Amino acid sequence: MTKFSDLNLSPKVLKAVEEAGYETPTPIQEGAIPPALEGKDVLGIAQTGTGKTASFTLPMITKLARGRARARMPRSLVLCPTRELAAQVAENFDTYSKHVKLTKALLIGGVSFKEQDTLIDKGVDVLIATPGRLLDHFERGKLLLTGIEIMVVDEADRMLDMGFIPDIERIFSLTPFTRQTLFFSATMAPEIERITNTFLSAPARIEVARQASASETIEQAAMVFRPSRKDREGSEKRRMLRDLIDAEGATCTNAIIFCNRKVDVDVVAKSLKKYGYDAAPIHGDLDQSQRTRTLDGFRDGSLRFLVASDVAARGLDIPSVSHVFNFDVPSHAEDYIHRIGRTGRAGRSGKAITICTPRDEKYFDAVERLLQKAIPRIGNPKAPEPEAAQVPAPTAAPALTAAPAPVAAPAPVRESAEEQPRRSTSRRSEKPAPRSEKPAQRNNESRAPRDSNRGSDRRGGRDSNVVGLGDHLPEFIALSFDERRAS
């Protein structure tokens, strides 16, 4: 079995590795460290949680131990997609370079430019940065990249998802052509492969696992959830999340809950806290100090649930995460790999549960196609209780349908035409007589006989009752007809 002592690392680096408690390298470390020490370009493809960070930090520290940094001209550059990952890489350098005199600077957003400028002016051996903040310093004239000897791109596929590829290409053009490039990614999208073909020279390709494969130590499950109504989907989905957490019981020591949108991160975290769960949100819109406090609390165990967007899905090394809950199915199938990779790290067992609604079915199918296997389905952990409560409903249905029978089939509708006027007249007679008749009431009373006599007038028959003029025929009308007849 290969050990770190077999990889030609410097004695000071080996001492730091032993003090950190590591003896045996992971497959990606075993494959990437030797060619990196030889000065070759490296293309490392491995699933998240396999130790890619140490694959480039250990050979970098060994090589950079010889030499001296110059002001504003860092000797090496590590590009990371997120602030959290960049801070974690900086912590790894501190751990493994404790016996080597190397300086470093961390360039991330949310921190004052002045403090970062001071470090750059003194000269640093290792510059760890996110692409946006690095270009900000360069455009302000505070940084030169012509002295870069080693350049590392970590989580390259995440760079692609976040739209950093144009920035990466620009940064590559600002560095010397003779640099050594170490390129690491969990997946190899066509765009990532194009960049590696352009900027890497005859790289040593190390692929220790099938692309986009999940760790075998992670137990995966999915629960298909159908809301009762569209406007209740959010609240019922959050209740389903609480039911799943409760069903895991004591085995769920801590968990990361992933949402697709930042606004949902805040809503879910607030809902969990409302129901007594120790939860806090983390996403890109929060202040860096708040994000740091939240992560520190989750790492030391004072925070049980971390509700996060995909900003926390890549590269965060928190070995003891027992569960991952996907509150939303990620729109990109590769993100599913990185999300569930937060659990089951370093050989530990973990569990990942995904809540899938009908609108997420196409994304979930893409995840299963990427995994090349079906994810087991589980039922609602509290499904038996509502089913038992609904059992009496079918037996009560006949009584409910029989109750409105008198209303559904009224007898008066089937009466003959001769009986209808008699029935309406009797109803009017039963009403109490008003104290004083108003013109509107008299008009209403005369409306019925007008309708009944209209047919005889149309047939040409002459009735003694003139419609609308009372019970007698006025004389002036009769005279007018007699005069016409006489003429």
Query: Do both 134 and 156 map to the same domain?
Result: yes
In this prediction, residue 425 carries a pLDDT of: 42
Query: Do both 373 and 325 map to the same domain?
Result: yes
In this prediction, residue 456 carries a pLDDT of: 43
- pLDDT tens track for 336-354: 888 888 888 767 889 999 9
- Least confidently predicted of 122-131, 326-335, 362-371, 478-487: 478-487
According to DSSP H, which parts of 221-332 are helical? 233-248, 262-274, 288-299
Query: Do both 179 and 239 map to the same domain?
Result: no
In this prediction, residue 416 carries a pLDDT of: 42
In this prediction, residue 213 carries a pLDDT of: 67
Tell me the C-alpha distance between 79 and 175, whole Å.
Answer: 13
Tell me the C-alpha distance between 483 and 451, whole Å.
Answer: 30
In this prediction, residue 69 carries a pLDDT of: 83
Contact 285, 293 (CB under 8 A): no
- pLDDT tens track for 420-452: 444 444 444 444 444 544 444 444 444 444 444
Query: Do both 223 and 300 map to the same domain?
Result: yes
pLDDT at 82 over 50: yes
Residue 447 lies in a domain: no
Residue 465 lies in a domain: no
- pLDDT tens track for 117-163: 999 999 999 999 999 999 999 999 999 999 999 999 998 888 887 88
Number of structural domains found in the chain:
2
Contact 334, 186 (CB under 8 A): yes
In this prediction, residue 314 carries a pLDDT of: 61
- pLDDT tens track for 150-198: 999 998 888 887 889 999 999 999 999 999 999 998 778 888 899 999 9
Q: Could you tell me which residues come within 8 angstroms of residue 51 by beta carbon, excluding any fewer than 6 positions away?
A: 25, 26, 28, 29
**The dihedral of CA 113, 119, 122, 123: what is its sign?**
negative
Residue 450 lies in a domain: no
477-486 in b/e form (b: 16+ CB < 10 A) is eeeeeeeeee
Average pLDDT, the chain: 81
Query: Do both 240 and 199 map to the same domain?
Result: no
pLDDT at 395 over 80: no
In this prediction, residue 467 carries a pLDDT of: 52
Domain boundary (330, 360, 387) is at 387
Query: Do both 371 and 223 map to the same domain?
Result: yes
Higher pLDDT, 326 or 422: 326
Query: Do both 265 and 195 map to the same domain?
Result: no
Residue 406 lies in a domain: no
Tell me the C-alpha distance between 368 and 364, whole Å.
Answer: 6
- Give CA torsion, residues 175, 179, 180, 182, to 10 deg: 0
CATH value at residue 104: 3.40.50.300
Query: Do both 283 and 203 map to the same domain?
Result: no
- pLDDT tens track for 453-473: 444 444 444 444 545 555 566
Percent of the chain with pLDDT over 90: 50
In this prediction, residue 186 carries a pLDDT of: 77
Domain boundary (387, 415, 436) is at 387
Query: Do both 169 and 303 map to the same domain?
Result: no
In this prediction, residue 391 carries a pLDDT of: 41
Q: What is the mean pLDDT of residues 384-395?
A: 43
**One-letter identity of residue 207:** E
Residue 427 lies in a domain: no
pLDDT at 235 over 90: yes
Higher pLDDT, 284 or 99: 99
Residue 328 lies in a domain: yes
Instruction: For residue 453, give the H/E element and its range.
Output: helix 439-458
Domain boundary (364, 387, 410) is at 387
In this prediction, residue 334 carries a pLDDT of: 78
Which among 111, 112, 147 is positioned nearest to 127, based on CA atoms?
A: 147
Query: Do both 173 and 53 map to the same domain?
Result: yes
Query: Do both 245 and 184 map to the same domain?
Result: no
In this prediction, residue 1 carries a pLDDT of: 65
pLDDT at 382 over 90: no
Query: Do both 46 and 184 map to the same domain?
Result: yes
Q: Could you tell me which residues come within 8 angstroms of residue 58 by beta carbon, excluding any fewer than 6 positions away?
A: 4, 7, 9, 13, 17, 29, 33, 96
Residue 423 lies in a domain: no
Residue 253 lies in a domain: yes
pLDDT at 12 over 70: yes
In this prediction, residue 40 carries a pLDDT of: 96
Domain that holds residue 136: 4-207
Which among 324, 333, 335 is positioned nearest to 367, based on CA atoms?
A: 333
